[in-house]
Amino acid sequence: MTQFELDILAKKGRSEAENGMFPSELLEQVKDRRKRKWLFDSIFSAQYREITTQMSETEKLRRGKLLSVEMAFEHYMKSVRIFRFNAALLVAIGIIMITLELVRPMNGLAFGMITLIESTVVIAVSLNQVYIRKYGLLLFNALVASSIIEIAFFQFPLPVLYGSDLEVTSRLEGFWQIFNGLSPFLYIAAKFGILISMAFSSDRVRKFIQRKQDYERTGE
């Protein structure tokens, strides 16, 4: 984004700020964190954020909340990136499970297809930050429900290797036995890790929305 474009956004942002709004939609357009910081400082000058004893309690509260919503916004932007990373991770897991099924038939096809469906939904939501704000928590709940149904109906994936496949050199035999025994749980651990990540991200999105609304209410 060029400096000219940033100047235009800064002008629009100052107009929104004067009307008591937090210009999150404008800030979201700037992906580079340093440029986004410059834009924020251009919209909310240091003088505007300064708290003095001459101010009313309402104005002091409002300026204090500005710092809170700024921090929440940066956490929200990180959550957007985490949503998209998790979508890519789900795609990778789904492809791996289906590939393993093609190479060595087990019961990985169902797990792979379910994961790819989940990844499609996450991608559809994460491509639009408005959707993340609206449906982030709903998406997390849907993934939890999907995981519960997945385990209830299909339980765990089978080990990657068959018994005959474990007859390798004696030095590697122990390693492959451990890997084979843990392989079903690696899938579950990866999905569980994604759910935890989505939980934290959804909570950060919720907090940003809450603090943004709280900040804007003080300007009414």
**Average pLDDT, stretch 193-216?**
92
The structural domains of the chain, with segments of one domain joined by +, span: 3-77, 79-209
**Average pLDDT, stretch 5-22?**
90
Q: Please write the tens of the pLDDT for every residue from 103-155.
A: 777 777 888 999 999 999 999 998 888 899 889 889 999 999 999 999 898 88
In the block, which residue shows the tokens 């499970």?
97
Average pLDDT over all residues of the chain: 84
- pTM (global) more than 0.85: no
Highest mean pLDDT among 48-52, 166-170, 203-207: 203-207
